[in-house]
Amino acid sequence: MPITVILADDHKLVRQGIKSMLQSQKDISVVGEASDGVEALKLVADLKPDVILMDLMMPNLNGIETAYQIRQQGYKTRVVFLSMHANASYAVRALHNGALGYVIKDADFSEILAAIQNAVEGKRYLSKAISDEVLEMLLSGEGEKKGSLESLSPRERQVLQMIAEGNTNLAIADKLSLSVRTVESHRARVMFKLRITSQAELVRFAIQQGLIDA
């Protein structure tokens, strides 16, 4: 039994090119073509193919939304994206919405075949060009080095403590007889020096450093 595949892409030329390459494969049969997400969804419902090879951005219903619907409606059809975007953000968004494969359009044809084969077996496949970037993105934010309390000036330390104690910029300005602008700039500097990007983190840091009680 050959693998049944549907192609969905709003660019007819691209569809034809991919189709002719796929048809040279004995174990693959292209059973339908769609030019937007709505058509694609209908074909999936009617033909229940093994795999849909789909463009990311299509009119009416884009590929990501289509993938989500396919999974939501419980179809067994595996989704492989074939995209112009050599970019991890797109790939991660695609995977999050139920796709198993993500291949760049100008990747080697062997990559497309590998993605289809893997998808049939329920395995994920990412184009070589983006797999590193995707991993980095998913691991991002881990093991970031924080700055140290010693890097702060006495004034900045004081402002940090007051922020952690829950004072607003206005209250701090009032207590230290500074302008609100100056307090805002101290706050920004403190966060920059500590490599901290949120208020919650700032409070946690102050507790860890014993500046305030937990």
Partner 1 sequence: MSYPHLLIIDDDAMTRETLTGLLAESGYEIQCAASGAVGIELASRLNPDVVLLDVMMPGMDGFEVCRLLRKDPHLAEIPIIMITALDDQDSRLMGLEAGADDFLSKPFNSVELEIRLRGLRQVARYRHLREEREKLQTAHQLLQIQNEELRMLSGKVISVQETERRHLAMELHDEIGQQLTALKIMLINLVNYQGEEYQIERKKAINITEQLLNQVREMTLNLRPTMLDDLGLIAALYWFFNRFTQQTRIKVIHNIDPLDDRRFPDVIETTIFRIIQEALTNIARHAKVKEVMVTLSIEPHLLRLSVVDSGKGFIVNQVSMGYSTGISSMRERVALAGGKFNIQSTPGEGTIIEAEFSLPEME
Interface positions with partner 1 (CB under 8 A): 56-57, 62, 84-90, 92-93, 96, 106, 133, 137, 140-141, 144, 181, 184-185, 188-189, 191-193, 195, 197-199
State the Cα torsion 82-86-89-91 to the nearest 10°. 30
Q: How far is the CB of 185 from partner 1 (least distance, A)?
A: 5
State the minimum distance, in angstroms, from the CB of residue 117 to partner 1.
Answer: 24
3-state helix, strand, coil in the chain (%, to 5): 55, 15, 35
123 vs 181, beta carbon nearer partner 1: 181
Q: Between residues 91 and 119, which has the closer beta carbon with respect to partner 1?
A: 91
CA distances from 109 to 39, 48, 53, 127 (A): 25, 24, 13, 11
The minimum distance between CB 140 and partner 1, in angstroms, equals 7
**Rounded Cα–Cα distance for residues 83 and 14 (Å):** 11
Backbone angles phi and psi of 181, in degrees to 5: -55, -45
Rank residues 46 and 89 by Cβ distance to partner 1 and give the closer one: 89
Residues 29 and 53 sit within 8 Å (Cβ to Cβ): no
Q: Considering the complex, state which of residue 15 and residue 30 has its C-beta at the smaller distance from partner 1.
A: 15
- Considering the complex, what minimum distance in angstroms separates the CB of residue 133 from partner 1? 8
Residue 211, number of CB atoms within 10 A of its CB: 18
Q: How far is the CB of 17 from partner 1 (least distance, A)?
A: 12
Grouping H, G, I as helix, E, B as strand and the rest as coil, residue 184 is helix
Q: Which is nearer to partner 1, 47 or 188 (CB)?
A: 188
